[in-house]
Amino acid sequence: MKQVRYGVLSTASTLKRFVGAMNETGSGQVLAVASRTAEKAARAAEELGIPKACGDYHEILDDPEIDAVYIPVINSLHYPCAKEALLAGKHVILEKPFVLYSEQAKELFALAAENNLFLTEAIKTPFLPVYAYVKELIEKRDLGALRYMEFHQSYVGGSYIAGWNKQREFGGGVLIANEAYFFRMAEYFGGPVISCQGTAAFGESGTEETISLSVKTESGSLASLGVSVNVLFDNELRLHLDRGRIIIPDYWKADRAFLYENGVLTEEKSFPAEYEFRYELSHYNDCILNGRLFSPVNSPERTIRYIQLCEQLYDQWDKEEGIVR
């Protein structure tokens, strides 16, 4: 296999970026796309230059020319779609959140291993060049130790304030939408999370609309996350060190970093990319082409542990709200 041939099980908004990024890797190609109707799939295929359009995702799973699938369907369908894909003999890149329950994650990773297939959750942040640069800055310790990390993200428009994103049974709510980025990057800089606490404000639909999380990492640094569909935050990550701070706008798709020493801006670094998916997709393609079953960067252990942290938070919040699931 010289290239990984993909099918995409949706015409979701990520499709264009996925195809563009895959084309840039040189190690993979999108061969087919599926949608709930053949007409919608055909329009997407024509627009993006995808050779095959399918009105049913089973056509992709049954296609012997497809090596792997990318699954960006609604959150509650991640588990059944990934399971079907693995049983059909396809490698799987599963959009975040991986699944809704840790037992589902354990089952899928075991199934992948049993069938000698690659499986991962799509988390692009640890692959972005800006973070390698920032981590090197921190490890030099010119500004002292990393003490505190602030993550903020707002969803005051778009799909997150309507439709299935407002329904818990479909995997809606802002915690599950952001946990992978937050926990993964807190650990990227601070080491394993050793404690986690959080509070949430719920909307009429029963999903959490604003959350505040706090974690402590093995290195002793702290991290906080604020996410809301009601509050307009400055969408960024702020890393606070003894004698300075680093600000990273749009931290989940970051391409810039600003370095402040003693309150004065001393450096701005930019890593422009049209498709920020390209870095993680190059890694996943390399894993598949070299026979790896899991990513050493986004490991099964991390994915399962992050979902377990979410389960603990949801159990706490349900008890506080008197919600019976």
Looking at the fold, whether 216 and 134 belong to one and the same domain comes out as: yes
Total domain count for the chain? 2
Looking at the fold, whether 92 and 191 belong to one and the same domain comes out as: no
Asked whether residue 164 carries a pLDDT value surpassing 90, the answer given is no
Q: Which domain holds residue 64?
A: 4-123
Q: What is the pTM of this model?
A: 0.94
Q: Would you say residue 297 lies in a domain? A: no
What would the mean pLDDT of 35-41 be, rounded to a whole number? 92
pLDDT (tens digit, 9 = 90+) per residue, 212-235? Answer: 999 999 999 999 999 999 999 999
CA distances from 319 to 100, 164, 197, 324 (A): 19, 23, 15, 8
Is the separation of the CB atoms in 215 and 196 below 8 Å?
yes
- Mark which of 100, 123, 146 sits at the end of a domain: 123
Looking at the fold, whether 69 and 204 belong to one and the same domain comes out as: no
What is residue 291's predicted lDDT score, i.e. its pLDDT? 96
- Mark which of 95, 123, 151 sits at the end of a domain: 123
Asked whether residue 317 carries a pLDDT value surpassing 80, the answer given is yes
Strands (DSSP E) contained in 18-140 are 28-34, 52-54, 68-71, 91-95, 119-122
How far apart are alpha carbons 256 and 96 in whole angstroms? 23
pLDDT (tens digit, 9 = 90+) per residue, 77-102? Answer: 999 999 999 999 999 999 999 999 99
Looking at the fold, whether 132 and 244 belong to one and the same domain comes out as: yes
Q: What percent of the chain has pLDDT over 70?
A: 97
pLDDT (tens digit, 9 = 90+) per residue, 261-315? Answer: 999 999 999 999 999 999 999 999 999 999 999 999 999 999 999 999 999 999 9
Question: Binning pLDDT at 50, 70 and 90, where does residue 165 land?
Answer: confident
What is residue 108's predicted lDDT score, i.e. its pLDDT? 98
Question: Binning pLDDT at 50, 70 and 90, where does residue 163 land?
Answer: confident
Asked whether residue 324 carries a pLDDT value surpassing 80, the answer given is no
Asked whether residue 146 carries a pLDDT value surpassing 90, the answer given is yes
Asked whether residue 1 carries a pLDDT value surpassing 80, the answer given is no
Looking at the fold, whether 72 and 119 belong to one and the same domain comes out as: yes
Q: Which of 158-167, 201-210, 310-319 is most confident?
A: 310-319
Looking at the fold, whether 119 and 131 belong to one and the same domain comes out as: no
- CATH number at 205 reads 3.30.360.10
What would the mean pLDDT of 316-323 be, rounded to a whole number? 86
- Mark which of 103, 123, 143 sits at the end of a domain: 123
Q: Which of helix, strand or coil describes residue 241? A: strand
Question: Binning pLDDT at 50, 70 and 90, where does residue 157 land?
Answer: low
Looking at the fold, whether 100 and 149 belong to one and the same domain comes out as: no
Looking at the fold, whether 98 and 141 belong to one and the same domain comes out as: no
H-type helices in 88-238, by residue range?
A: 102-114, 129-140, 174-190
pLDDT (tens digit, 9 = 90+) per residue, 41-79? Answer: 999 999 999 999 999 999 999 999 999 999 999 999 999
Mean pLDDT, the chain, whole residue set: 94
- CATH number at 36 reads 3.40.50.720
Asked whether residue 109 carries a pLDDT value surpassing 90, the answer given is yes
